[in-house]
Amino acid sequence: METENEITESVFTSDDDDFNTTGFNCAIKIISKSLFWERVRERSERVDTLVRETAVHATITAHSKRMRQSSPFLKLHHFFETRESVVLELELLDGTDLFQYIDARGSLLESEAASIMKDILECLLLTERLGVAHRDIKPANILMCNKTDHGAQVKVGDFGMSTFVNVDGLVRGRCGTPGYVAPEIFNATASVGYRNKVDMFSAGVTLYVLLCGYEPFYGETDAELMDTNKAAKIEFIDGDWEHGKSNLCIKIEQIVSKYDVYIQYVLCST
């Protein structure tokens, strides 16, 4: 099962940096070719990963530019390669990632969680329409922007596990971060696929983390974690889920157990 890797590094460039082709501040994601191909040989990385990431990211960025919409995801400005690396030139944000943001606070207020979820779901609505599956929605891949009058603002990033939906309407391949993976992905094979709505399952898990500060699935080992994740049974510990959050408990259960619902419906009730 394809999971996170450590073949990339991130740096920041300014408009006077020789490595910057855009003329303004940006973030640079550098992917080592040698480490990438080493992981391919070890069968811990798929050979088409880099092509999928750049193609998906470029597609959704181009769509937003064409529609002249503000993007709910991190924009890809340019990409190129050198002898040693593949380089993605990305939008530079001022904030941290959502994982660090939650870690510093323990949990978030419902109003702030709702504002964050709205941005995440708007991104998933866009990717669903474009026939894309992100497949790694989690707090560490959601980036904080400056706060607005409407609350916290975030953008979805890291499209390293993303892919396009096939002509039969299905996605294939097992990947993701244990604890956030939809059960269908665990059951996927070369002939058995799943729909790109699996990202809604990960969004439901993320909402759970926003409100209590920890993940709903637990295991002493990776195998145990994947088993509890696959079972997808959500528990709400009384001390962390007071009576006032009862409606949110229901909503999380609905998203995680029936995530094939329309994203628009969840957006309207957020």
Find all residues with CB under 8 Å of 1, minimum gap 6, and list them: 174, 175, 176, 186
Q: Contact at 8 Å (CB) between 259 and 180?
A: no
Q: Active site residue: 97, 119, 136, 199, which one?
A: 136
Buried b vs exposed e over 98-137: b needs ≥16 C-beta within 10 Å? Answer: bbebbeeeeebeeebbbbbbbbbbbbbbbbbeebbbbbbb
To the query of whether residue 227 is one of the catalytic residues in this protein, the response is: no
* Cα pseudo-dihedral 36, 38, 43, 45, rounded to 10: -10
Name the residues annotated as catalytic.
136
